Amino acid sequence: MEMTSSKPYLIRAINEWLTDNGMTPHILVDAQAPGLQIPLQFVENGKVILNISAHAVQGLHMDNDWILFSARFSGQPMDVTIPTAAVLAIYAKENGRGMVLENNDSPTPPDLPPKPSGKPRLQVVK
């Protein structure tokens, strides 16, 4: 059965967890992703870090496909549009706690080790 991506749910959950704990949530974004509208002057090595705390942004909206908000960059207001797929990590500025978000939408599950065959055996080790 086809399932939706867990990535947007994880982003929203980690954001709420960080906020509830008084932390400042930041996201690391792939600045080369299509559909991105970000302040290009802050891009370094193809990535940008954005503060998404309530003190830094207005109108934060996170759905399954997009993260949208307004913020000021160098005093200039800007509407920011980020495809959820472009978010590489979400973490607290203060202590780095959070989550690196891999592409978890692979249609095949990870390889599991083979189950041992035969009867289980216990051995006393002295």
The CA distances from residue 107 to 3, 10, 85, 104, in Å, are 9, 18, 16, 9
Sequence-ordered list of residues with C-beta below 8 angstroms from that of 65, at least 6 positions apart, any chain: 8, 83, 84
- pLDDT, one tens digit per residue, over 12-71 is 999 999 999 999 999 999 999 999 999 888 999 999 999 999 999 999 999 999 999 999
List the domains of the chain with CATH numbers. Answer: 7-100 (2.30.30.220)
Which backbone phi and psi does 22 adopt, to 5 degrees?
A: 75, 20
Q: What is the reported pTM? A: 0.79
Please tell me the chain's helix, strand, coil percentages from 3-state DSSP, rounded to the nearest 5: 15, 35, 50
Res 84: pLDDT: 96
